[in-house]
Structure 1
Amino acid sequence: MNGQRCYIELNTDAFAHNLACIRQLAPLSKVMAVIKANAYGHGMMLAARHLDDADEFAVTSTEDAQQLRQNQIDKPLTLLSPMFGESDLKWMSENTVRPVIYDYHQLNSLRSDKSFKSLDVWLKVDTGMGRLGFSMEEIQSVYNSVRQLAGIGSISLMTHLAQADQPNLTANQQQIALFQSIVSEAKNNNQTYSECSILNSAGVVAFSENAMDIIRPGVLLYGVSPQRGLSSQALGLQPVMTFKSSIISVRRMPSGSSIGYSGTYTLDQDSRIAYIACGYGDGYPRHAPNGTTVLVNGFLVPLVGRVSMDMIAVDIGELPVNVGDQAVLWGEGNPVEDVAEASGTIAYELTCKITQRVSRVVIQNT
């Protein structure tokens, strides 16, 4: 054992590899690397420093933007769903930070705040996501209102695809067509958008031919496939995060033995059960069902019994597995999207939910 009950390895070489794969999909577009939510649990500062070839970064809050600037990250920043506080707009205008304007409350803040100079902004239009954004009917008048404000620099336009992880759905093409029509109509009305953006990670994979000025990949950067039925390996991606632990006990159990809380799993034959030092207290999903894969000594073995706070059990049969051997909960050799699918969730949730007691090990091979 290495003395750590469980830990995540972060392969920083994978950042550059994945970014290169993304650029191949949309070579004519700039890349806005989405590093919100602490870079999907991978570490915002780590991601920012190892995605230096990205054209700009996107985060959620002013606090994230300020942290990046305080740590000498000087790439242009976009705030995807900002809430404005006093003096925030002035700070943004002075620090190359573009807020996304998505409702009239924000628009009123722009009108009333006279402190900023040359603030570049995004406008967001809702083409079918049903979340943030102005309606199609509103967006032209919103543009005109913003364009008339003193202190406004460039105005860009974005939308968000709601179902790009299911590319065969007609809703995707409908959203794309609606956005393209808005852009075309704006040109006809002499409205100038500095940049337009429509594709998230799933959109980049499925609809790269519709890439505009900037694409907004998130989970792709971390080596995770955003598409159902399409593996990260098929996309040529490398996982940045590998979640590891060790075998702390191996027991031979007779047929008929119940494993774990509530006796939710019963052995139907004699077997060996290995116990791994990782549970929902570390971020492993409590709702992971029997059969969820864990990689032990190069073998994919099934989870058995209910996930505990501090440990899980796997059925290793007669495989050569002993106390102290390494287990990969997800990552290299056991893709996180497979664990997520088995658990009825998405990979984003799993990587974001790693808890503070899990240590981090940064590795770099080049």
Structure 2
Amino acid sequence: MAIKNYEEYFSRIKKLKRNVYVQGEKVDRTEYEGLRGGFRTIRETYDRSNDPQYKDLCATKSHLNGEVISRFTHIHQSVEDLLKKQRMTRVLCHRTGGCIQRCMGIDAMNALSVVTYEMDQILKTDCNKHFIDYLAYWQKEDITANCAQTDTKGHRLKRPHEQADPDLYVRIVESRPDGIVVRGAKVDNTAAPVSDEIVVIPTRFMTDKDNEYAVAFAVPADLDGVKMLVRPANHHRRKYLEAPISEIGDGESFTIFDDVFVPRERVFMDGKGDPRQTPFAGFLALLFAHYHRHSYTGCKPAVSEILASAAALVAEYNGIEKVDHVKEKISHLIGTAELVFAAGQMSAYRAEKSASGTCIPDEILTNAGRRLAGEEIYK
């Protein structure tokens, strides 16, 4: 079975070379106290995938070979897949009190499954073949991955090729038959320091002058030339009263690619070597965001419900639980959470099957859910 347990995952991470830096010091990612919360969060995804009570949500069958796999490594083949992914996200976020961190990796993989297939069909490339081979490994090993999308960008009104520093967007400095050499940095990479792999995709549409910036690939998190400048985030430990939330946290990485060589079989887009691929960069950037917003309609209702529950408890302790304006505010949180989740559900019911076989949720409804949560809860 291709579902690993937490101990198997953690033993892989322990073997990674040291390339994590915190406040200027190189640290061991598995021993550094500041990343304990990130590992605890990831543990929840592995433990629940092996828990019979959660199997229906957290496990499924691979469309590649029929083996049982984690839903965190699955490419959505049906409306039911999208509904269960959304529900799984909500349920696990209830348990962690926040982000479950593995959604970014699988959202990127679903986007890649669509875009690389279309590239192969239209351009006769091998990008989808490379992707499918990589996906098989991903599923077999039950990989935890970060999606590195956001570039440092520099001047926001200028395109990548117009920047004073050409490395403000990750770019290909050399394309050759056996692979590519990349340089630059990605920012705000949640879970990167506790991940097996880093999946890199474009952050925007590219013009025909931005060919070298149209790039997508995957690398081991400790590959030579990869460096992570990490900001850990943890809830403070409790001294007197034990609280589960104090175990949870994450690590955000400024991930540097210092002339990193990526083997050809791990390259999914190479605009420098083949400029015909450049127009697909924006498609990939938006499709990842689209899948991630669908995940958002699972996680944000969960977090909203936790906030509403905490508010209700505080109100009760203070004797104001029956005051009208208190009830109104709490019910507004709960109502909005349900509407956001409903938008995600309906986007799944209205999903379209792409040429690759991957199901894509309705774009309007996922964005409506994302906007509603942003304006009514997190504004």
What is the TM-score when the length of structure 2 is the normalising length?
0.22
| Larger of the two Rg values belongs to structure | 1
What is the TM-score when the length of structure 1 is the normalising length?
0.23
Q: Which has the higher helix share?
A: 2
